[in-house]
Amino acid sequence: MRVLTWNVWWRFGSWEQRQKAILTVLRDLQPDVIGLQEVWARGGENFAQWLAEELGMQWTWAASHAPERWQRRLGDSTVDFGNAVLSRWPIVDRAVTRLPAAEGNDDGRLALHARLAAPTHEVPFFTTHLTSEIHASAVRCEQVAALGEFIAAHRGGTLFPPVVTGDFNAWPDSDEIRLLGGYKTAPAVPGQVLVDAWEYAAPSAPSATWDAANPYVAAAGALSVRIDYIHVGPPGPGGLGRVRSIHRAGDGPVDGIWPSDHAAVIVDLADADPGNHWAEPRHSQ
């Protein structure tokens, strides 16, 4: 199973050209499941829906309950903001939870769950987008604690481990990422462990998903850092859900256009049934 997470930078910059570049990257990579952050919707239009229709996928999305800060940045109060899941398989259940915010600074962060009817097992899939203030680790820890409870409430009833994707706006060694994992500090939910899939990457592989090589990032004078993640629970029977490979994607221009200010992360997960074609290795394009 090929999983991708990507913050697609809402409707900032040359967004119409960027949309086409994002679609090109996704067509080339052919992910089975996609977690998206900073998805826009306006009236009857929804970026996740457009991508799903172009890619022949199912989709669901959740709009922020407090998009006003984002709308002020864009100068348009009619555009919604949220997270989405795209899937090659039916989405048989979904749930949404609001995440905690600093007092007086609620910008509508949330987590979205989609239960996917994959060929051999249902997959509990999650995507989220944590607060972005660089000093707000304490808030992100509160958000991760709420996310952990949300995962625990929706992960059951299947042997496939939970898959958690998103833009966490946090360094890999931060308190919030260690809390989410639960194997470098006490877990947010007792007994619940979620492994950062990047630990299976080649040590020399480029890792920054917020990368100063990207002109959108360079313009802000930001440091290069990995802030986008795919976490997976411990493998099920026979290695079900084991990480087979992981790397960055969407980390360069497409016909001269950088698709987003973030790079995507893509991971291949194993299926326990060796007779199923989803168990076969899938190599990057």
205 by Cβ neighbours in 10 Å (0-12 / 13-18 / 19+) ranks as exposed
- Position 230 in a domain: yes
- Position 212 in a domain: yes
**CATH number of 105's domain:** 3.60.10.10
Q: What is the pLDDT of residue 277?
A: 38
- Position 233 in a domain: yes
Q: Is the pLDDT of residue 282 over 50?
A: no
pLDDT tier at 285, thresholds 50, 70, 90: very low
- Position 108 in a domain: yes
The average pLDDT across 223-236 equals 97
82-86, 117-121, 162-166, 273-277: least confidently modelled range? 273-277
Q: What is the pLDDT of residue 272?
A: 61
Alpha carbons 113 and 61: distance in angstroms, whole number: 9
- HSE-up of residue 2 (Cα within 13 Å, Cβ side): 20
Rounded (10°) CA dihedral 107, 112, 89, 182? 120
DSSP codes joined into one string, 188-238: SSTT---EEGGGGS-TTS---SB-TTSHHHHTTTPPPB--EEEEEPSP-GG
- Position 284 in a domain: no
- Containing structural domain, residue 170: 2-279
pLDDT tens by residue, 161-193: 999 999 999 999 999 999 999 999 999 999 999
In the chain, pLDDT over 90 holds for what percent of residues? 89
> Is 214 within 8 Å of 232 (Cβ atoms)?
no
Which tokens go with 43?
Answer: 């009236």
- Position 45 in a domain: yes
pLDDT tens by residue, 35-64: 999 999 999 999 999 999 999 999 999 999
Quote the longest CA-to-CA distance of the chain.
54
pLDDT tier at 221, thresholds 50, 70, 90: confident
Place of tokens 């987008």: 129
- Position 191 in a domain: yes
Q: What is the pLDDT of residue 220?
A: 85
> Is 189 within 8 Å of 151 (Cβ atoms)?
yes
Count of domains in the chain?
1
Which tokens go with 102?
Answer: 């600093």
The average pLDDT across 226-233 equals 98
Residue 38 amino acid letter: E
